[in-house]
Structure 1
Amino acid sequence: MARLDQRHPAGAPGPWFVDSRCIDCDAARHVAPGLIARNPSDGVSVFTRQPATAEEVAMAWRAVLVCPTRSVGHVSERQPPPGVYPHDLGDGVHRLGHNASDSFGAHSYLVVRDDGNLMIDAPRWTRQLVEPIEALGGIAHVLLTHRDDVADADRYAERFDARVWIHADDRAAAPYATDVIDGTEPVEPTEGVVAVPVPGHTKGSVLYHVDGRLLFSGDSLAWDPRREQLTAFRRACWFSWDAQTASLDRFARSGLRFDRLFCGHGWSHDAPAERFHDHLVDLVARMPSWRLTRR
């Protein structure tokens, strides 16, 4: 629950607020763009204005339930309305919200499919998601993109008797995994799903390409809305930047195309497949010149 006594002073006056425990994970900004933004003086999230429409109020509630530190709130309304999450993003993809502090607020997703539903990474465990996930058909496979965003995958897998996939090089984060991806060659966990190993962000990072057009990138690839181009996280590359560059180059040459990008951290985005491919080729060309500098 957000703490009114720690309300950030830079937020817009009114009933909705963000408290000073915000960890700058960006999650609330992704679900409430135009309402919540990064405060330039300290990097945390604040309401830049108060919600003015029913849809904007719904966005604010999504921010409440996505925040891993529970730093977003309303001065008097503490109980969210029903059905905030899972949030239908179209094409069978649902954002699950309830982001975990253990994963630094990474987003997770449920993909509803006739061949069995997929959970991509995991939120924190909450019974608020169990019944809605059941209503959508449960979970057949939990697909983990890398070690950092595992969160409470084990509890969801146990509850729904789901198979759990992770790369061998990150398996220590999910010792309960039923299926282990090895090497750098793509594999198919189930029909229509391609797991593409992309060592770099972590040694065991994986992209999941679903139904020929949906890409779940974990923390290996994201959209930069300010520059309107694809990006990767140089300052959050825990294994090897050279390896990540080579991995994304290999993916760009693979023939796999996507027109919807869903990220763990960073901004998701939709674009025509060929435009995304051009952006990816451009990103790979730019990456070798990125060097860490002291802040």
Structure 2
Amino acid sequence: MPESAAPTVIAKPPQLVFEGLWAFAPNRDTLGGTAYFLKLPHGNWLIDAPAWHAETRAFLEEQGGLNGLFLTHRGAFGKAIAIQQHFNCDLVVQEQEAYLLPGARVTTFEREQAIAPQLTAIWTCGHTPGSACLYWEGQGGVLFTGRHLLPTREGGVAPLRTAKTFHWPRQLRNTQLICDRFSPETLNWICPGASSGLMRGRKAIASAYERLRQLDWSGLSEAQPLL
């Protein structure tokens, strides 16, 4: 190979989480965000934007294309518009983030809305004004949380306050609302949209409802922003 030639980069393929659900490798375009692909009888969905290259296109086309792309927050947009243009799919985002997708054909929601059979979008403002989670009724209940809830070093899940957090008290209130909305029977798994390295090879956080109930609310309320 000539010295000037760049080595071939082989993209890491999506990894199976459950039957019909795959997790993509962290995406540099979304600051290491994790996107998911969900294959359902009524249509295929992406949750957040994976790295957009030939391998991603081939994988999605082999699975039958794409019906929709749900975006959990503005930091997970990546190449969402290019993905929509390629597959002519729906692009769903909470209404306060939609202006950041100029020229795209966007479907918005306000608070909570069913966007497809077994899929419900839930507004969880805090990390950004339009942060949202997506709930899938399969596998005993799976919540795709974007950066609203992230894995912890202790193996749990929690909201994370950073210097760029839009509104920390609202994020805490919306975390409590998630706890109130679900139960051990309806929320078994959380699929976070970042910090996958803390999951130590796991692709989803089990016993999700119990882990949320174990949160140290007083400690979270006193947390200071990261600088």
TM-score bracket, normalised by the shorter chain, equals 0.7 to 0.9
Could you tell me which of 104, 121, 125 is aligned with 1:199? 125
Contact 2:159 2:172 in 1 (8 A): no
Aligned to 1:223: 151
1:292 and 2:225 matched: yes
Q: One-letter code of the match for 1:292?
A: P
- Cα distance change on mapping 1:146 and 1:283 into 2, 3 Å: same
- In the alignment of these two chains, the number of paired residues is 210
- Give unmatched runs, 5+ long, in structure 1: 1-75
Could you tell me which of 69, 72, 83 is aligned with 1:142? 69
Aligned to 1:266: 195
Q: How does 1:69-80 map to 2 (within 5 A)?
A: 78=8, 80=10
The CA deviation string for residues 159-215 of structure 1, in whole angstroms up to 9 with x for no partner, is 111100001111122231421011x3x210001001110000001000001124121
Deviation, 1:84, is 3.8
Aligned to 1:162: 89
Q: One-letter code of the match for 1:258?
A: L
TM-score, L = length of structure 2: 0.84
The CA deviation string for residues 83-129 of structure 1, in whole angstroms up to 9 with x for no partner, is 8413222231112336133x112111111111101101102321221
Deviation, 1:236, is 5.1
Q: One-letter code of the match for 1:97?
A: A
1:96 and 2:24 matched: yes
- Aligned-residue RMSD, C-alpha: 2.2
Aligned to 1:153: 80
- Cα distance change on mapping 1:177 and 1:204 into 2, 3 Å: farther
- Cα distance change on mapping 1:99 and 1:134 into 2, 3 Å: same
Q: How does 1:101-112 map to 2 (within 5 A)?
A: 101=29, 103-112=30-39
- Give unmatched runs, 5+ long, in structure 2: 1-5, 197-202
- After TM superposition, the runs of 4+ consecutive aligned structure 1 residues lying more than 4 A away are 76-79
Contact 1:248 1:284 in 2 (8 A): no
Contact 2:48 2:77 in 1 (8 A): yes
Contact 2:36 2:47 in 1 (8 A): yes
Q: One-letter code of the match for 2:162?
A: R
Q: How does 1:20-35 map to 2 (within 5 A)?
A: none
Cα distance in structure 2, aligned partners of 1:241 and 1:181 = 22
Deviation, 1:237, is 4.8
- Cα distance change on mapping 1:219 and 1:114 into 2, 3 Å: same
- Cα distance change on mapping 1:127 and 1:262 into 2, 3 Å: same
Could you tell me which of 262, 282, 287 is aligned with 2:214? 282
Of structures 1 and 2, the one scoring higher in RCO (CA 8 A, sep 6+) is 2
Contact 1:167 1:197 in 2 (8 A): yes
